[in-house]
Amino acid sequence: MKDYGAASDEKLLKYLDRVFKPEDPVLKTIRERSLKAGLPEIQVGSMDALHLEVLTRAVGARKAVEVGTLGGYSGTAIARGLGEGGRLHTFELDQKHADLARESFRKAGVLSRVTIHVGPALERLPKCESEGPYDLVFIDADKETYPAYLAWAARHLRVGGVVLGDNAFAFGEIAEGKGDGPSAMRRFNQELAQGGRFRATMLPTGEGLAMGVKVR
């Protein structure tokens, strides 16, 4: 029997791009500039960026935190969802990446809504705690620290606020049950789903987008 899986997936992707138009010229430019500047090709996909904007709007978020700025692709999507008067605190380890992201935010017309913090996120996150509680936290940085970022989100999100964790499938290794590679992501998923602070689900994107609503 002929396998149509790959062809069907490709057709579906083309359909989604045509109908939902997830990547407009601004986001396309951000992605291309990031690649040209030598940043790793690890920003969220175009449909995932659309998910971020739509979820930000759905929760009515005005205050958000992003861990992992990179070139500003996902941050632009979140900032768009916040709207005028919203504030995104985004955290980036690398100064070069932060500088590129600042230009991305400027070109996207959302720089006035964004504060970029440079350095290790766990050290810098306390600087924005006084502005909480937050409506949305998006985690997309060093995978080993996901459980610590989730703990921070649990403390600083409002009840009804949303936490999102990208790459929650651990690049396909989450269910393998061997090796130590995805152990931190397994702890993150386990705590999010069964820790009692969140009502959680997994959006089965290509990378896996974990989502939890804070319930207590």
Tens digits of residue pLDDT in 192-216? 999 999 999 999 988 899 999 999 9
Q: Which domain holds residue 191?
A: 5-214
Contact assessment for residue 109 and residue 148, using Cβ atoms and an 8 Å cutoff: no
Q: Where do the H-state alpha helices sit in 39-117?
A: 46-58, 73-82, 95-108
Q: Output b/e per residue, 133-156; b: 16+ Cβ within 10 A.
A: ebbbbbbbbbbebbbbbbebbbeb
Q: What is d(CA 191, CA 152) in angstroms, rounded to the nearest whole number?
A: 13
In 10-156, beta strands by DSSP E: 63-67, 87-92, 114-118, 134-139
The DSSP letter of residue 180 is S
What mean pLDDT do residues 119-146 have? 96
pLDDT tens track for 10-44: 888 899 999 999 999 999 999 999 999 998 888 89
> CATH number for the domain including 76?
3.40.50.150
Give the model's pLDDT for residue 178: 57
Q: Output b/e per residue, 177-202; b: 16+ Cβ within 10 A.
A: eeeeebebbbbbbebbeebebbebeb
pLDDT of 188 above 50: yes
Give the model's pLDDT for residue 211: 98
pLDDT of 152 above 80: yes
Count of the separate structural domains present in the chain: 1
Beta carbons within 8 Å of 37's beta carbon, 6+ residues apart: 71, 96, 100
Q: Is the peptide bond before 133 cis (omega within 30 degrees of 0)?
A: yes
Give the model's pLDDT for residue 4: 35
Q: Taking all residues of the chain, what is their mean pLDDT, rounded to a whole number?
A: 92
Q: In terms of pLDDT, which residue wins out, 129 or 1?
A: 129
Q: What are the tokens at 197? A: 């602070």
pLDDT tens track for 153-185: 999 999 999 999 999 998 878 777 655 558 899
Give the model's pLDDT for residue 101: 97
pLDDT of 77 above 80: yes
pLDDT tens track for 104-128: 999 999 999 999 999 999 999 999 9
Three-state secondary structure call for residue 107: helix
Q: Would the pTM of this model clear 0.85, i.e. be above it?
A: yes
Contact assessment for residue 87 and residue 110, using Cβ atoms and an 8 Å cutoff: no
